[in-house]
Structure 1
Amino acid sequence: MTGTVRLRGSRRDAADGGAGAARHATAPAEAKNRGSGDGPTGDSGEDSLFRNAYALMLSTGVSAALGLGFWLIAARHYSEEAVGQGSAAIAAQRMLASITATTLSGAVVRYVPRAGRATGPLVLRLYLFSTAVVTVACGVFLLTLDLWGPSYAPLGSLSAGIFFTASAVGWALLTLQDGVLTGLRKAFWVPVGNAVFSLGKLVLLVLLAAAVPVLGVFVSWAAAIVLSVLPLGWLVFRRLIPQQARADRDREPPGMREIGRFIAGDSVGAFFSLIMISLLPVMVAVRFDAAHNAFFYTAYTVGGTMEFMAINMASSLTAHASHSPDSLAEGVRGALRRMVLLLVPVVLVLVVLAPLILAPFGQGYQENGSTVLRLLAAAALPRVAVELYIGVLRVQGRTGMLAVLQGAMCVLVLGSAAVLLGPYGISGAGYAVLGAMTLMAVACVPGLRATLKGRAPAEHPRAAARVKEREEDGYGTNWARESAYLRGAHDSVTP
């Protein structure tokens, strides 16, 4: 495992009508002579960054709109207890799947862009590792099911346990697949896959209402994963990965030792992020009855969409700046500006109109979930600064600081939630998130300011050495950017 991942060769031409051959016909020197780093379509590196980010945000928006419809239909066709049990199962599934999905996503976005001919073996190894770890984690969860409260009782049968495990494995692969598409700079496929998943679960939700009245919410959610992960998996392995392998076949792939070191450092921080995002709804499910869990989870789903917009921008920044480290300050500056312009109006709408947004779900959702929705929406604004600084730390390879930052955020959110859930009910989780994110944003401001002024590498010698090493081996040169943009006229909107 200490060597370099190898790929024997590509078995098919790229799907861009000969663009791969055009990449090799264009010498690195010619790309350098073009100077600007712009692609043949006239797109700058900044355009690439924000097209990638906007594609991911579109995915988030599509998922949010259809997700809102999902929970609205669930509230109409299922009892509050069934919605609460279904959302509890979904929360547990996502928590267990995220053990690998979250901890490996940073490495996927970081190394897939530079894996070259080894992209296929690298992605396959990560997928197999994820499947094994999630399966074991689900086994432990199901064996200790009695400890997690009555909301999880429907998962107690053997068939339900097997289905739950398969769904968690599928969710982990679907999440990693989004990271792979982002790393391949094909993020415009992410909203397509999420739209298929979201529409599929809507249809299944209605069809299963009578046949599976208790677990229909969870079954429809889980079964729809297949509709997205299989066709996109075929696209990734049969089309997109061979395309990159052919385009970058002369690039030396990163060694597994290097990737392992990054995962070991990055996964610590990512694990804290996983615990924070996934355990909070589980804490609510364990502490409150199924009906109140339904009220919280609906608001959490809608309000949490805003923070995922910030995460998507940071993910795109990581992939883009890993190809062009010198553009980090420019990327952060543009990302901050665009996130403020995009998020502030949406957050204001959610804060002002929260009761109206939740009214279609029913009076219980409106009365109990409006405060939670307002607090979570407001928390998205400081979350922007936190997530962008996380992206900066990933690009700089500062995994130790990344782990400290995400660990502090996790402790603040979950610790304050444990205290506030008692006196404030489910709204205590919202107060915890808003307070923690505000404190973390204040702590991140100095680092972001240093990055915007271009001082971060100089202030951190190890990070500067890593940036220099990437530049010396062609990582982030104009040639790499050129080969990323030569995709053919029909592919001109590629991030």
Structure 2
Amino acid sequence: MSDTTTTTAGQADTGTAETAGQRPGPARRLRLPGLGRGAGGNQLFRNAYALMLNTGISAVLGLGFWLAAARYYTEAAVGQGSAAIAAMKLLAGLAALTLTGALARFIPVAGRATGRLVFRTYAGSSVAVALAAGGFLLTLKLWGSSYRFLHDPVDAVFFVLAVVAWSLLTLQDGVLTGLRSALWVPVGNTVFSAVKLVLLVVFATAIPTMGVFVSWVAAIAVSVLPLGWLVFRRLVPRHVKATEGRAHPPSLREIGRFLAGDYTGSLFSLAVVYLVPVIVAAQVSSADNAYFYITTTIGGTVNLLAINMGASLTVEGAHDPARLAANTRAALRRMARIMLPVCGVLFFGAPWILAVFGQGYADAATGLLRWFAVGAVLRVVMETYFAVLRAQSRTAGLAWLQGLLCALVLGLTLLLLPRMGLLG
């Protein structure tokens, strides 16, 4: 992907040079920025670019999904479907999202224990999120009219299965990143995004109210099952062989110490990303929730670029701690070049971007999208620092910082939402 092979003509020229007694020059190769000769930087950016490619593809197909939803479904149906998706992501993230940092930190050094680590993480996460989903269903009266459909037993069971499936999809990305095989992440998520878009249109007539949510969930299996086979049958054995002789499988105590800080901090981050949409869904109309959810999806996608680089930085910091400082500086420089233009387009183009979904979206949420653009630039510094702390297993300090961020975001949301609406 990053290199091109030399051409036949180039080989002929090299042979001519040798015949003439001259030393051949190095073959010219096409490289992505940052994929130079240094092994550390090469792998750092290869993984990061793969994750960013995944974000870009998912963003395009994701926006296509919500554009189709806005065209084929009523605003109330989009609001109800997006509320269900927000709750699914929140509940799945209680275990899955919070464990991806541990996978990125410990898979690189797990050696022969890698397969057991991945399987036990999958199993433990599935049980935990199923229990969390059950607790959510028992408290539906607290969550507003957008979740009224979950009172139906069939819909409730489907929702629990959806939460478990989403947790596995989330963990899968962390596993692939930890195995230094992040190039498979955009493959799996591209298939998922394309399938859910097709199903969305197919279900528009058959399931006019729940088609948005059902199409999203049904597409998960298309990614999870084949990539799960790939992880356990191909990538894990290859990783074990590649790290043989220099792996240091973590003890349960070491993992526990890491999770004590990282899990707590990740719960705070989870609340910032996924609890806010649920709070909004519980307090505004379904139409307003549609405006908010699509806007926060766009802004959150841009934030993922910084998170992608942070995930790759954590993995490389665990592999080679001596290069952590150099990799951090390189990551910050690269992200500045990427994020400033992207966020500039998002800020100045906000009304036109939202108008694609309908004029109501542009009228209600242009200011909100511009605030997301400003926040995405600042997110680069935060995620880079968080990645360094994870690579060094300094998760206690990480938890304090994420807790402070959570208190500010949730506190201001509860304070300003009733007073300023979606912009608050």
TM-score by length of 2: 0.90
Cα distance, 1:318 vs structure 2: 0.2
Cα distance, 1:43 vs structure 2: 5.1
* Aligned pairs for 1:7-406 within 5 A: 42=37, 44-250=39-245, 251-406=247-402
CA separation in 2, counterparts of 1:246 and 1:390?
30
CA separation in 2, counterparts of 1:104 and 1:348?
33
TM-score by length of 1: 0.77
Q: Deviations over 1:300-351 (max 9, x none)?
A: 0011111111111111000001111111111111111111110111111111
Q: Letter of the aligned partner of 2:350 in structure 1?
A: A
> SS of 1:208's equivalent?
helix
Q: For 2:412, which of 406, 416, 434 is the aligned residue?
A: 416
> SS of 1:410's equivalent?
helix
Q: Letter of the aligned partner of 2:115 in structure 1?
A: G
Paired residue total: 388
CA separation in 1, counterparts of 2:354 and 2:250?
48
Q: Letter of the aligned partner of 1:179 in structure 2?
A: G
Cα distance, 1:42 vs structure 2: 4.9
CA separation in 2, counterparts of 1:291 and 1:49?
42
> SS of 1:361's equivalent?
coil
CA separation in 2, counterparts of 1:226 and 1:276?
27
CA separation in 2, counterparts of 1:291 and 1:279?
19
CA separation in 1, counterparts of 2:329 and 2:96?
28
Q: Letter of the aligned partner of 1:348 in structure 2?
A: G
Paired residues of 1:304 and 1:377 also in contact (CA < 8 A) = no
Cα distance, 1:360 vs structure 2: 1.9
Structure 2 unaligned segments of length 5 or more: list them: 1-35
Q: Letter of the aligned partner of 1:155 in structure 2?
A: L
CA separation in 1, counterparts of 2:157 and 2:230?
27
Paired residues of 1:266 and 1:403 also in contact (CA < 8 A) = yes
CA separation in 1, counterparts of 2:152 and 2:248?
49
Cα distance, 1:397 vs structure 2: 1.3
Percent of residue pairs identical: 57
Structure 1 unaligned segments of length 5 or more: list them: 1-40, 429-495
Paired residues of 1:154 and 1:215 also in contact (CA < 8 A) = no
Distance 1:43 1:239, change over 3 A: farther
Q: Deviations over 1:107-151 (max 9, x none)?
A: 100000111111000100000000000000000001111210000
Q: Letter of the aligned partner of 1:69 in structure 2?
A: G
Q: Which has the higher contact order (CA 8 A, sep 6+)?
A: 1
Q: Letter of the aligned partner of 1:350 in structure 2?
A: L
> SS of 1:426's equivalent?
helix
Cα distance, 1:90 vs structure 2: 0.2
Q: Deviations over 1:66-92 (max 9, x none)?
A: 110000000000000000000000000
> SS of 2:205's equivalent?
coil
